[in-house]
Amino acid sequence: MTTNTVEPTILEKAKKWMLNDYDEETRLSVQKMIQFEEAELVECFYKDLEFGTGGLRGIMGVGTNRMNKYTVGSATQGLANYLKQSYDESKKISVVIAHDSRNNSRYFAEVSAGVLAGNGIHVYLFENLRPTPELSFAVRHLKAQAGIVITASHNPKEYNGYKVYWNDGGQLVPPHDKNVINEVKKITSVSDVKFSGNEELIKSIGKDVDDVYIKALTTLSLNPDIIKKQSNLSIVYTAIHGSGAVMVPPALKAFGFNNVSTVEEQMIPDGNFPTVVSPNPEERAAMTMALEKAKQIKADLILATDPDADRVGIGVKNDKGEYVLLNGNQSASILIYYLITQWEKKGKLTGNEFIAKTIVTSELLKDIARSRNVECFDVLTGFKYIAEIIREHEGSMTFIGGGEESYGYLVGDFVRDKDAVSSCCMLAEAASWAKDQGLSMYELLIDIYTKYGFYLEDLISITRKGKAGAEEIQKMMEGYRTDPPTEINGLAVLAVKDYLLQNETNLHSGKEYAIELPKSDVIQFILEGGSKITVRPSGTEPKIKFYFGVKGQLTDKSQFYEVNQSMRASLEGMIEAMGLRS
């Protein structure tokens, strides 16, 4: 095979990776692609990895569009340059680094530490894997100027990623994200990257931060007395081979949960994730072993965290004694309901509190909050925007909690990212509280539906890999933007929200309204009856995502299955009408 059909700019980028600045293994890999693997060459070099809602993320391998020593090194050099511009170099600049269990995560963490030290920046490097939320906590605790975590969250095993945090413990948001990227783009040669420096600038951290983090978590507990009464609550926990194994069991123990059984095979950190196809608690297959364990011991609650322990999936018994998995909207609704009602019961609500959710997350959270005079802020997809809202209102309003439909939740504000460790503890506390009321978690959810409205949601993801896939996704978005539907499954489209153009159009009156959120390639169709469809290309995966939501009324919980069936039929009709199900 020749490279006659490869764009010259791609070939030119690839040939730079055959210079002596790169290691021999890299040079040989590029040479092989140029000679024999044209398609692979294009995929590896047709673009540079960019920061999305989850930072830098990609398949591991050789090339500008892959996660490797050189792309990680360039990103870190860009960060170092920006830190020096942003802070007085005469004073100590420090960065905290953590990583998960993925293949090459430790290596990439050490590469990052070396580059920072090469630039005279102090580094706090966790001694081994730690959850992402603990990294966020450590940035604030150690008064660092930034943080880095090496993880690809719940992506398949061939991926890894690189997320940067600012001094508030939140992920980079404008203008910092763009400014870092601009600095990275200025690096035109790998020789610009200072890969090594004074090793004395790199300090190992571990238990010292763990202890403070867990102590902070226990302050979130609202009903420790009920946990004591329900000490027999049976919990099954799995880390799915990730960093949750380090912190979730001791955190649950610190809260007072003593009847915790772990899925031992999945408590072993392993970047190949040998017992699952995908280490994603959003997928039932990843929960199979935990479900089996729960059935054996008749557990009350199942908890599962993803590789970097920022997302948690839960399983509960339904009223038939069968184990069911709650989706992210349902778990978030239970958590927010528990937090707000207990804050009210304990006299902590003053009318100056708020929660936050993403625009694709259930409106049920907003209904719960407003019923208790708690403000609810909607933000773009990506937990960094929830962290930004917390920072903006720090000192003037009190943050209770927040969440997103993709299984990420946060309680309290000392962490500025989704935190599966605290979420596991607080969901377990909610389960204890429900049990003390004579309710299961499933019955509690149905009670919430009867009080605030029955919301049913679903997510359809369409994968389109590579350059051609990215172009196809872009074409789909252009079609929705220029020729939006006026009705879907017999329901009139009342309004179209275009977050890229930052306007909302009322299709009945033709009036337009400004959307105050930052630009994002997202389109929402608001349908009659409270239904909603959101279309959004993923910022971290080669996917386009369709979020469906319908609203109904549940006047009596005895009608749950009948109403659920009717709403499910409506939901399926919407999915079919969008051409996503045959």
- 10 and 153 belong to one structural domain: no
Q: How many CA atoms lie within 13 A of 126 on its CB side?
A: 31
Q: Is residue 213 part of a domain?
A: no
Residue 210 domain flag: no
Burial class (CB in 10 A: 0-12, 13-18, 19+), 196: exposed
Percent of the residues in the chain that have a pLDDT greater than 70, as a whole number:
98
In this predicted model, what pLDDT tens digit does every residue of 349-377 receive, in sequence order?
Answer: 999 999 999 999 999 999 999 999 999 99
Boundary of a domain, candidates 417, 452, 487: 452
Q: Are residues 86 and 198 in the same domain?
A: yes
Q: Burial level of 187, CB count in 10 A (0-12/13-18/19+)? A: middle
Predicted confidence band of residue 3 (pLDDT cuts 50, 70, 90): low
pLDDT at 280: 95
Q: Which of 409, 434, 452 is the last residue of a domain?
A: 452
Q: For the segment 387-441, what is each residue's pLDDT rounded down to a tens digit?
A: 999 999 999 999 999 999 999 999 999 999 999 999 999 999 999 999 999 999 9
Domain membership flag for residue 113 = yes
Q: What does the alpha-carbon distance between residue 23 and residue 25 come to, in Å, rounded to a whole number?
A: 6
227 occurs within a structural domain: no
Average pLDDT over every residue of 476-481:
94
The residue that leads in pLDDT, 178 or 523, is 523
pLDDT tens, 431-477? 999 999 999 999 999 999 999 999 999 999 999 888 888 899 999 99
Q: What is the per-residue pLDDT across 89-134, written as a single tens digit (0 to 9) for each?
A: 889 999 999 999 999 999 999 999 999 999 999 999 999 999 999 9
Work out the mean pLDDT of the chain and round it to a whole number. Answer: 95
Q: 38 and 55: one domain? A: no
Same domain, 102 and 33: no
Q: Are residues 414 and 507 in the same domain?
A: no
Confidence of residue 181 (pLDDT cuts 50, 70, 90): confident
107 shares its domain with 126: yes
228 domain residue, yes or no: no
Number of structural domains in the chain: 4
Boundary residue ending a domain (403, 420, 452): 452
Residue 368 is part of a domain; what is its CATH number? 3.40.120.10
**Partners of 544 in beta bridges:** 462, 537
377 closest CA partner among 400, 344, 395, 347: 400
Q: Are both 255 and 364 inside the same structural domain? A: yes
Residue written as token pair 């830190």: 83
- 211 part of a folded domain: no
Between the alpha carbon of residue 69 and those of residues 12, 81, 248, 427, the distances in Å are 20, 18, 31, 39
Closest CA to 545 of 555, 534, 554, 553: 534
DSSP letter string, 48-82: ----BTTBEEEEBSSSTTSBSHHHHHHHHHHHHHH
Confidence of residue 332 (pLDDT cuts 50, 70, 90): very high
pLDDT tier at 187, thresholds 50, 70, 90: confident
CA 260 to chain centroid, in Å, comes to: 25
Residue 468: per-residue pLDDT: 86
Cα–Cα distance for residue pair 34/341, rounded to 1 Å: 62
Which three-class secondary structure state does DSSP give residue 124?
strand
For the stretch 199-240, pLDDT in tens is 999 999 999 999 999 999 999 999 999 999 998 999 999 999
Q: What is the pLDDT of residue 207?
A: 98
Q: Are residues 150 and 248 in the same domain?
A: no
Residue type, 578: M
Neighbours of 393 (CB within 10 A): 17
Q: With bands split at pLDDT 50, 70 and 90, how would you rate the model's confidence at 4? A: low
One domain, residues 466 and 525: yes
Q: Give the model's pLDDT for residue 154.
A: 87
Please give the positions annotated as active site: 153
Angle at 337 between CA 333 and CA 340, to 5 degrees: 140
216 in a domain, yes or no?
no
Looking at residue 582, what is its pLDDT?
Answer: 59
Domain that holds residue 75: 50-205
Same-domain check for residues 282 and 348: yes
- Domain identity same for 71 and 167: yes
pLDDT at 540 over 90: no
End-to-end CA distance of the chain: 39
- 217 domain-assigned: no
| Residue 55, pLDDT above cutoff 70 | no
Pair (28, 153) in one structural domain? no
